[in-house]
């Protein structure tokens, strides 16, 4: 067995489950689509086996998986898998490019937050955890999660207003 095969076997054993769970949330619970994304992610890992170590490959694998889901979203013209909004509440967007630009502005605004505030928002809104679950993951009391989220959302609103993104 060559090094590439060995690395991919280790990656599969270590990261398949976490990747599947991560992707499954992004694709709205579609197990088949999640499995396809995980398989494609691991195929790409095999192509980069010389650059990856199984212990440190998690961020790379998650980024590849997320990009595959997003690119699939763009090809199908569907909804953004990480930030679902009910269709009746979706702000009117002139076209898909404008929607993508707004998404990038939200990401940039998120990056402007401190890590504690950003983590609270990500856990609650992007990973769809309850306050209690987020508190357990972050290792802080539930009240702290609520407080951080409150101030983070206020800061996000201000940062987005500075960028010209307003509510419709």
CA distances from 167 to 92, 102, 107, 109, 158 (A): 10, 11, 16, 15, 12
CA-based angle 24:21:15, to the nearest 5? 130
Residues 97 and 158 in one domain: yes
Helix H or strand E encompassing 127: none
User: Is residue 55 included in any domain, yes or no?
Assistant: yes
pLDDT score for 105: 78
72, pLDDT greater than 80 = no
> What is the spatial distance between Cα 116 and Cα 128, in angstroms, rounded to a whole number?
17
Looking at residue 94, what is its pLDDT? 46
- For residue 168, being part of any structural domain is answered with no
Quick check: 87 pLDDT over 50? no
- According to the model, what pLDDT value does residue 138 have? 94
The whole domain housing 105 covers: 93-162
User: Is 73 a residue whose pLDDT tops 70?
Assistant: no
pTM of the model: 0.44
Percent of the chain with pLDDT over 70: 77
Per-residue pLDDT of 104-124, as tens digits, reads 777 888 888 999 999 999 899
Tokens 């940062």 label which residue?
159
- Tell me which residue of 98, 91, 124 sits closest to 110, measured CA to CA: 124
Instruction: Please indicate, yes or no, if residue 83 is contained in any of the structural domains.
Output: no
Token pair belonging to 2:
């060559």
pLDDT tens for residues 15-61? 888 888 888 888 888 888 888 888 888 888 888 878 888 888 888 88
> What is the band of 146 on the pLDDT scale with cuts at 50, 70, 90?
very high
Same domain, residue pair 44 and 104? no
pLDDT at 118: 92
Query: Does any domain span residue 14?
Result: yes
């Amino acid at each position: 067995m060559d090094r590439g095969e060995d690395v991919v076997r280790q990656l599969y054993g270590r990261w398949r489950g976490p990747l599947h769970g991560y992707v499954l949330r992004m694709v709205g619970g579609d197990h088949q689509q999640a499995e396809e994304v995980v398989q494609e992610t691991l195929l790409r890992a095999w192509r980069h086996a010389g650059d990856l170590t199984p212990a440190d490959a998690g961020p790379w694998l998650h980024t590849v998986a997320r990009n595959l889901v997003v690119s699939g979203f763009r090809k199908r013209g569907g909804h953004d898998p990480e930030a679902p909004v009910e269709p009746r509440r979706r702000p009117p967007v002139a076209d898909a490019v404008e929607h993508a630009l707004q998404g990038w502005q939200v990401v940039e605004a998120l990056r402007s937050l401190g890590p504690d505030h950003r983590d609270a928002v990500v856990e609650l809104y992007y990973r769809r955890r309850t306050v209690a679950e987020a508190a357990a993951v972050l290792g802080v009391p539930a009240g702290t999660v609520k407080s951080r989220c409150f101030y983070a959302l206020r800061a996000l609103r201000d940062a987005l207003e500075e960028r010209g993104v307003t509510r419709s």
